[in-house]
Amino acid sequence: MTDTDIAIIGGGASGMMAAFSAASSENRPQVTVLEKMPRPCRKVIITGKGRCNYTNEKDWNAFSPHVRANSNLLRIAFMEFPPDKVIGFFKKNGVESITERGDRVFPASHKSMDIADALYSAAKRAGAEILTGRQVTGISKEGEIFMITLPGGQTLSAKRVIIATGGLSYPTTGSTGDGYDFASTLGLSLKPRFPSLTALVPAGYKQDRGNDGMHIDRSIPLSDTGHLLCGISLKNVGVRLMSGKQCLQEAMGDIDFTDGGIEGPIGFALSRTAVKTMTNGGKVSLEIDLKPGVAEDEYRQRVSGLWKDILSDSRSQGRGARTLASVLCGKLMPKELTAGFLRTTTGIIRQSQKGKESFDLGQFIQATRCWKIAIDGYVGYERCVITAGGVASDEVSPKTMEARKCKGLYLCGEVLDIDADTGGYNLQTAFSTGYLAGRHAAASLLDGESKSQAKSTNTR
C-alpha cells in the first residue's frame, strides 16, 4: 500500500501545473505536492518585478529560436500546452491577460500573486494535496515504488514521482538545486549548470571583485564609475559580445545599468554566452553602438557639423575640451550618460606635456559607434533569472517527460537542461513541461493497472 499515487517534489510553476494536470486526469489519481517553503510559487511571485510575464504569444516557429538549449525536448510539450491554452487556463481561473511589446503576456491586474493564487487554487480544486514546509531530503526506488525521505526519518511512498524543484536561481525562494541531486541519485546524468539571464559586471564597476572567481556578488558596493552609470537605460543600441577579436553574439535593443551591472533585454540575452565563456576560462567584453540605425558616413558628417556649431558658438569661448566634449555628448546621447561614457572611454580627451587638454573628434566618433566595455564577471545564482544546464535532454522522453533510465520518474521545469530568453519563454516552458509530465504520470497509472489486470487474467 502506497501513501500516494503521484508525489510532486516542488511547488513552483511547473510543479503546480503538473499537480493540476495529474489530479484532473480521468482516473483521478491521488496527487501529493511536497513544497519545502511556507507557501508554493515563491519564485513566480517575484517574477517580472512582481508583474509576472507568464507566457509569450508567439507560435512555435517564432518561439523556438528563443529557447537557448534543447528546444527539441520542449517541442511536443509546447504543442500539447501552447501559450493560448496557458492564457485560457488562467482566464478560466479568474486571471485576465494583457499582451505587451514583444508578445509578452501579463496578468491584466499587473499582480504576479494572481498567477500564483490561480495555480494553487486550480491544483487544489482538481484534488491535489499540497503540503508546505515539507523538505525532501532523499529519494530511492524499491521495485516499482519510490521512497521519499522527509526530515525526522519520515518517509512517503509513491507509485510515480515528478521532480519539479527548479534550478539554483534565487535560492531564497527555495531553488537550491535539490532536484539535481535526486535525479543523479536515481541514475540520471547532468549537464554543467551556470547562471543565465544575469547581470554582466563591467570592469571597475564595483569597489572590488570579491574572491569568488568570475562570480561577483551583487551586494558589493559600486565604484565611482558604477555610480555614474547605475540607473541609466539605453534604448535601441547595437551590442556585440566579444572574446578577443571574435564576435560571439550580437543583438539590438535595450540595456540597463543597474546595481548589479549590465542587464535589460539585451544584456540578459548576451549573458548566457558570456557566462558560459567565462566559466570555461575565457574573457569577454561588450562593444556598444549608440547609433546603430545611422549609416557611418552620415553619422560622421552629422557629428562633425555639430562640433563645428559648438566651436563657433560664442558661449564656447574659454571653455575647456572636456566641457565642450560634454556638450557634444549631450546632443548625441542621454545627458546622464555623458560623465560615465567619458570616464570609461580612452583617447577622446588628450593631455599634452604641458597639461593642456584637447579633444579628438575622430576617437569620439569611433567610441560612440564602438563603446568598449570589458567585463569582469557576472552576478551569480542569487539574482539570475534562470539556471542553464541540468538533467540531460537525452535522459528524458520528450513525449512524456519520463526518465528513460528510471520508469515512473518524471521531470519538468528548470531542473531540465532547457533555458530560454527573457520575455515569458521560461515560464511557458515550465507550464508546458509540467502539464505534460502530470498528464502522462497519471496516464501511466492506468496503463499499469491494465497490464496488472491482464497479467492476473492470464494466470487464472
Give the pLDDT means over successive 10-residue stretches in the chain (460 positions). Answer: 90 98 97 97 94 98 94 97 98 98 97 98 98 96 96 94 97 96 98 97 94 90 98 97 97 97 96 96 97 96 97 92 95 96 93 82 97 97 96 97 98 97 97 98 82 44
CA distance 9 to 29: 16
Position 460 scores a pLDDT of: 43
Q: Which residues neighbour 192 within 8 Å (Cβ) at sequence distance 6 or greater?
A: 279, 389
CA distance 111 to 373: 36
Position 321 scores a pLDDT of: 92
Instruction: Give the cell for residue 370.
Output: 564602438
Residue 13 near residue 41 (C-beta atoms within 8 A) = yes
Position 455 scores a pLDDT of: 45
CA distance 313 to 383: 48
Is the pTM higher than 0.85? The answer reads: yes
Q: Per residue in 42-69, pLDDT tens? A: 999 999 989 999 999 999 999 999 999 8
Residue 286 near residue 239 (C-beta atoms within 8 A) = yes
**Residue 100 gets which letter from DSSP?**
E
| Enclosing H/E stretch for 104 | strand 104-107
Burial 245-269 (b: 16+ CB within 10 A, else e): eeebbbbebebbbbbbbbbbbbbbb
Q: Is 375 exposed, middle or buried (0-12, 13-18, 19+ CB in 10 A)?
A: buried
Position 457 scores a pLDDT of: 41
Residue among 233, 169, 229, 239 at smallest CA distance from 202 = 229
Position 448 scores a pLDDT of: 62
Residue among 46, 40, 52, 38 at smallest CA distance from 10 = 40
